[in-house]
């Protein structure tokens, strides 16, 4: 039997709104069981227009009262105030609280609650809006059955990777910030395409389709990128010379430094 029937999302911004949308589209979850909150009525009006069956309110304590799962999706500097507000109203002995707030640890979250509930940290990326997120989940004192049910809800919005808390910074860098890094490569390639004579829209489409092809090769063949690179690289040939120039300008090191600096 399902344990999670009522979910309240505190903060219906980019991330909270996308999660609400994903839950709303999940045919296995009752849309009437979703409540979202925000500071302003205009945000809530937008949510209600997009997802008519969900409940919306600016009253955080009322939203969490009776919820089985509370998802906190506010900015890091807003979380303390939100937890202090909801802590007395949430049934912390029974409900699970999930924070999508990057960089706030379980230890810090526990300190903010008067009675600490079972906790999850969840880090999706912006592709969650399209059901294509890579989402990391770490848990603290959440039983296996509840954790599996919540992971299942996020699996409907993309790939779920369950990790210990100490891997959260690395996961955040690789997939949450990482979506921007993947886009940064494509941005550079599009600019290069324009520089070499293509129109902007033409270059955009060519780079997107090239990425799609590269992904399909890895997926279909079950390969690491280097295996597919080797197939198109002849010593001294065009691709070889291009890759040498990229590495000569620090390509792989630049990517690694980007990851290390976002942890
Ligand atoms: N964006 C990402 O790619 C990403 C990825 C992983 C994790 N995260 C995490 O997700 C969190 C939210 O980021 P975001 O990009 O979604 O921010 P955002 O778009 O600014 O959304 C924040 C939302 O919180 C609401 N809010 C603020 N104070 C509130 C309060 N006291 N009670 C209820 N709602 C309140 C805001 O309401 P109003 O709209 O009315 O102002 C807004 O809707 C961050 O902590 C971030 O670390 C983001």
CB neighbours of residue 242 within 10 Å: 11
pLDDT at 1 over 80: no
Q: How high is the pLDDT of residue 128?
A: 92
Q: How far apart are CA 250 and CA 68, in angstroms?
A: 49
The total of structural domains in the chain comes to 2
Q: Are residues 78 and 206 in the same domain?
A: no
Alpha-carbon separation of residue 155 from 103, 149, 150, 224 (angstroms)? 22, 10, 9, 24
> Ligand 1 centre from 38 Cα, in Å?
9
Alpha-carbon separation of residue 109 from 10, 77, 112, 165, 197 (angstroms)? 15, 13, 5, 13, 53
Q: How high is the pLDDT of residue 89?
A: 85
Three-state helix/strand/coil letters over 207-218: HHHHHHHHHHHH
Which SS3 state, helix, strand or coil, does residue 117 take? Answer: coil
Quick one: pLDDT band at residue 123, thresholds 50, 70, 90? Answer: very high
> Ligand 1 centre from 79 Cα, in Å?
10
Last residue of a domain, one of 130, 165, 200: 165
pLDDT at 194 over 80: yes
Note if the pTM is more than 0.75: yes
Instruction: Give the model confidence (pLDDT) of 124-176 as tens digits.
Output: 999 998 999 999 999 999 999 999 999 999 999 999 999 999 999 999 999 99
Q: Are residues 54 and 112 in the same domain?
A: yes
Residue 173 lies in a domain: no
Mean pLDDT, the chain, as a whole number? 96
Q: How high is the pLDDT of residue 108?
A: 96
Pocket of ligand 1, beta carbon within 6 A? 10-16, 37-40, 43, 60, 73-76, 78, 81-82, 100-102, 123-126, 176
Q: How high is the pLDDT of residue 174?
A: 98
Atom of ligand 1 nearest to the CA of 39: 40
Residue 172 lies in a domain: no
Residue 145 lies in a domain: yes
Residue 203 lies in a domain: yes
Best of 13, 45, 79 to mutate for ligand 1, by most ligand atoms within 8 A of CB? 13
State the CATH number of the domain containing residue 156: 3.40.50.720
Alpha-carbon separation of residue 191 from 47, 180, 184, 195, 205 (angstroms)? 36, 16, 11, 6, 12
Residue nearest atom 46 of ligand 1, based on CA coordinates: 101
> Ligand 1 centre from 101 Cα, in Å?
8
Q: How far apart are CA 48 and CA 88, in angstroms?
A: 27
> Ligand 1 centre from 178 Cα, in Å?
19
Which SS3 state, helix, strand or coil, does residue 65 take? Answer: coil
Residues 6 and 29: beta-carbon distance below 8 Å = no
pLDDT at 247 over 80: yes
Say what percent of the chain tops pLDDT 90: 95
Q: Are residues 33 and 126 in the same domain?
A: yes
Q: Are residues 11 and 137 in the same domain?
A: yes
Residue 133 lies in a domain: yes
Q: How far apart are CA 101 and CA 209, in angstroms?
A: 33
Atom of ligand 1 nearest to the CA of 75: 45
Q: How high is the pLDDT of residue 70?
A: 97
Q: Are residues 113 and 27 in the same domain?
A: yes
> Ligand 1 centre from 71 Cα, in Å?
11
Q: Are residues 158 and 101 in the same domain?
A: yes
- Specify the pairing of strand 96-99 against strand 7-10: unpaired
Which SS3 state, helix, strand or coil, does residue 160 take? Answer: strand
Last residue of a domain, one of 165, 189, 221: 165
Q: How far apart are CA 129 and CA 223, in angstroms?
A: 28
Residue 153 lies in a domain: yes
Q: How high is the pLDDT of residue 190?
A: 98
Q: Are residues 145 and 70 in the same domain?
A: yes
Instruction: Give the model confidence (pLDDT) of 57-108 as tens digits.
Output: 999 999 999 999 999 999 999 999 999 999 988 877 789 999 999 999 999 9
DSSP calls for 130-146: GT-EEEEEEEES--HHH
Q: Are residues 104 and 81 in the same domain?
A: yes
Q: How high is the pLDDT of residue 173?
A: 97
The range of the structural domain enclosing residue 96 comes to 7-165
Q: How high is the pLDDT of residue 47?
A: 97
Quick one: pLDDT band at residue 115, thresholds 50, 70, 90? Answer: confident
Last residue of a domain, one of 114, 135, 165: 165
> Ligand 1 centre from 64 Cα, in Å?
17
pLDDT at 222 over 80: yes
Q: How high is the pLDDT of residue 193?
A: 98
């Amino acid at each position: 039997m399902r344990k999670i029937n009522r979910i309240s999302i505190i903060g219906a911004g980019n991330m909270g709104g996308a999660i609400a949308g994903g839950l709303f589209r999940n045919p296995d979850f009752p849309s009437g069981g979703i409540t979202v909150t925000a500071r302003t009525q205009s945000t809530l009006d937008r949510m209600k227009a997009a997802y008519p069956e969900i409940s919306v309110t600016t009253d955080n304590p009322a939203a969490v009262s009776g919820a089985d799962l509370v998802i906190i999706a506010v900015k890091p500097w807003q979380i303390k105030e939100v937890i202090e507000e909801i802590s007395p109203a949430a049934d912390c002995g029974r409900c699970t609280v999930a924070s999508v707030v990057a960089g706030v640890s379980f230890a810090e979250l526990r300190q903010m609650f008067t009675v600490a509930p079972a906790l999850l940290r969840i880090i999706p990326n912006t592709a969650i809006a399209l059901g294509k997120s890579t989402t990391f989940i770490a848990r603290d004192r959440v039983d296996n059955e509840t954790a599996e049910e919540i992971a299942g809800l996020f699996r409907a919005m993309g790939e779920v990777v369950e990790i210990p808390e100490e891997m959260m910074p690395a996961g955040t860098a690789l997939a949450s910030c990482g979506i921007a890094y993947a886009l940064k490569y494509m941005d550079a390639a599009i600019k290069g395409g324009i520089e070499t004579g293509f129109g902007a829209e033409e270059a955009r489409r060519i780079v997107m389709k090239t990425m799609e092809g590269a992904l399909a090769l890895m997926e279909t063949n079950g390969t690491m990128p280097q295996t597919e690179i080797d197939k198109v690289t002849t010593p001294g040939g065009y691709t070889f010379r291009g890759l040498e120039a990229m590495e000569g300008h620090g390509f792989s090191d630049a990517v690694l430094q980007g990851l290390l600096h976002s942890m």
